[in-house]
Amino acid sequence: MAMQFYASPEQVQRDRSEYARKGIARGRSAVVLTYEGGILLVAENLTSLRKISELYDRIGFAAVGRYNEFESLRRAGVRMADLNGLAYDRRDVTGRALANAYTQTLGAIFSETQKPYEVEICVAQVGASPEADELYRITYDGSVMDEPGFMAMGGSAEAISTVLKERHDVTADLATALALAVKGLGSVGGENGSTRELGAGQLEVAVLDRNRRGRTFRRISGAALESLLGGGKDVPEPERGDATGPAPAEDKPTVSAASVDLEGAPEDK
């Protein structure tokens, strides 16, 4: 009978952590930061697969690592937000609740399965003012951190965070905030430690616009992105659909059709 080699729980956890960190470090980075008009999400992305998405009305999602793993987490977050919004009220769906759910899911996967998820995600919720914005970083082992206005994930996150920390300003406009995010992403990955110039075709950019009513998430691409990278002003596209925001809670029905007693009711003519 073959002998089973013993590994202490601490060693198992260290091996899993090292495995997940190496997998995340191989990917391209993403940056999330606050600015005067909302929250900016920027990822270096050369493919059509999305690293940045919308979770709910005022909540965004950004991730780095293995696409199939963070995409399954994103879809689960969207379902959870939709169910809570329908069962209770749209205003009851918060970034903190979604971050807690991701923490529990990733913590269970890290502790109970043989292979941890190689992902790092950010749940961002835009508030009425920059001080009310919320950024939550959730790592592969279920750890969660409330970030102070900016964060970098993936490859060389520490070096990028140093650039962001030196120049981040919550009162900056969108063009200035985007220039800082691009500078941070381009500060690593060049030959012999040199900086890189990133163009519109290498970036995925979106914002949570605090000035929009209802759904605040919008992507910036094409000519609009090139204009911003050149220092121009942001020109939001016209809002589509109902921009009046979610209906107040008091207008929601309190009695379902199934609760009406139809016995003895006159038939429709």
Helices (H), 93-198: 95-112, 157-167, 174-186
pLDDT for the residue numbered 180: 95
CA dist., res. 107 & res. 140, Å (int): 8
CA dist., res. 137 & res. 103, Å (int): 10
Per-residue pLDDT of 139-178, as tens digits, reads 999 999 999 899 999 878 999 999 999 999 999 999 999 9
- Burial class for 248, CB neighbours closer than 10 Å (0-12, 13-18, 19+): exposed
Task: Compute and round to an integer the Cα radius of gyration of the chain.
Answer: 22
pLDDT for the residue numbered 4: 62
Please say if the pLDDT value at position 27 is more than 60.
Answer: yes
Please say if the pLDDT value at position 133 is more than 80.
Answer: yes
Per-residue pLDDT of 193-248, as tens digits, reads 778 899 999 999 999 999 998 899 999 999 999 999 987 776 665 555 444 445 55
Q: Which helix (H) or strand (E) holds 209?
A: strand 203-209
pLDDT-based confidence at 11, cuts 50/70/90? Answer: confident
Per-residue pLDDT of 89-110, as tens digits, reads 998 999 999 999 999 999 999 9
pLDDT for the residue numbered 10: 84
pLDDT-based confidence at 252, cuts 50/70/90? Answer: very low
Per-residue pLDDT of 29-73, as tens digits, reads 999 999 999 999 999 998 889 999 999 999 999 999 999 999 999
In the chain, the domains with their CATH numbers are 25-231 (3.60.20.10)
Is 184 within 8 Å of 167 (Cβ atoms)? no
